Structure 1
């Protein structure tokens, strides 16, 4: 299971300064028996654990199982006629005060780069194609769920020479359809190479090639 490290930072910093480092996410990801799995821990600059992510996708890149922990909260969920989830406090292991939720969304999104990979692979766009997708966003640190609509376009694929051979990097334009804000996300296989607020700092081995989707 290859592993790596992302740095996480603000898109912009205070006037006259660059982006502010928020921390880093150390991750492992690989294809598995049913699809793909990603596990990670996010650390503050002082080494404090901020969050953990455990995401398993099925063969069609839908969230088979998802567990995110942040601060005093945790959310478990998956694809059930859309997506369903249970949000509970970390000090309530029995879930006596847990709140369940459901939405006719396609998947989840959040701070972890894992969700960018999951959405791109679920859409399976050809170069030049675009699609609209409805996602449930888990906003940190309290993991409050809210529904967002995004537009994704695979704008192009750039091939880079590396020590291990050519690396195809997909360039996506991702728009928040409520605000019109647009960002560019660069993906290679199952790794985010770069995106606003995200930089790939280390990778122990080349990205995993994404398996072909099963025929409908």
Structure 2
């Protein structure tokens, strides 16, 4: 069960946004990721709880940020309920999309598991519902993912396979690179792995 810490920053000007303390593990039905997010000053600012089935579909998502809460799952596309800080007004949403995304590294792992690309695969187009900080506002985005290369690196615990993905935003054409090893993000825009106490788990 990998357990560690990501640092989060603005991908454009590198302003520190905080840290995400996480643990994740494959299970009998898929994969689960749980994290707590803190501000640069160390105050609690949110949490992520994401569970996938064995095909990589989100069977449960729970996000908290700035007193806002989202609960969602793959149902007729993806379906979610967003609750305001007072708890009085809840709004429901449903989009014919494949999965969710957001600021957490968990979503990058989840999308890679859903797509199951190989270096020989053509780029895959995917529709996602993104929940944007700080109020978890939903918006639909279309991305293209391609696995550029997959390389094995020698480590003290045996070879570690690192996958390099090129991700393109289809509305703006903006491209960025994501490096994954199993169920851990090594580097991505706004995300850096700072600490990891056990090797990543392989995701079949």
Question: Structure 2 residue aligned with 1:167, among 156, 160, 165?
Answer: 160
| Number of equivalences | 203
SS in 2 for 1:162: coil
Residues 1:203 and 2:201 are matched in the alignment: no
Contact 1:128 1:153 in 2 (8 A): no
Question: Structure 1 residue aligned with 2:84, among 83, 86, 89?
Answer: 89
Q: How many Å separate the matches in 1 of 2:133 and 2:186? A: 22
Q: How many Å separate the matches in 2 of 1:79 and 1:27? A: 23
Q: How many Å separate the matches in 1 of 2:84 and 2:100? A: 19
Q: Which residue of 2 aligns with 1:10?
A: 10
Question: Structure 2 residue aligned with 1:189, among 166, 182, 202?
Answer: 182
Q: Which residue of 2 aligns with 1:214?
A: none
Q: How many Å separate the matches in 1 of 2:15 and 2:53? A: 35
Tell me by how many angstroms 1:91 deviates: 3.1
The Cα offsets for residues 124-167 of structure 1, whole Å up to 9 and x where unpaired, read as 01114210000000011110100000000000012212111111
The Cα offsets for residues 43-63 of structure 1, whole Å up to 9 and x where unpaired, read as 111111111000000010000
Task: State the Cα RMSD in Å.
Answer: 1.0
Which consecutive unaligned segments of at least 5 residues does structure 2 have?
Answer: none
Give me the TM-score of the superposition, normalised by structure 1. 0.91
> Which contiguous aligned blocks of 4+ residues in structure 1 show a shift greater than 3 angstroms?
none
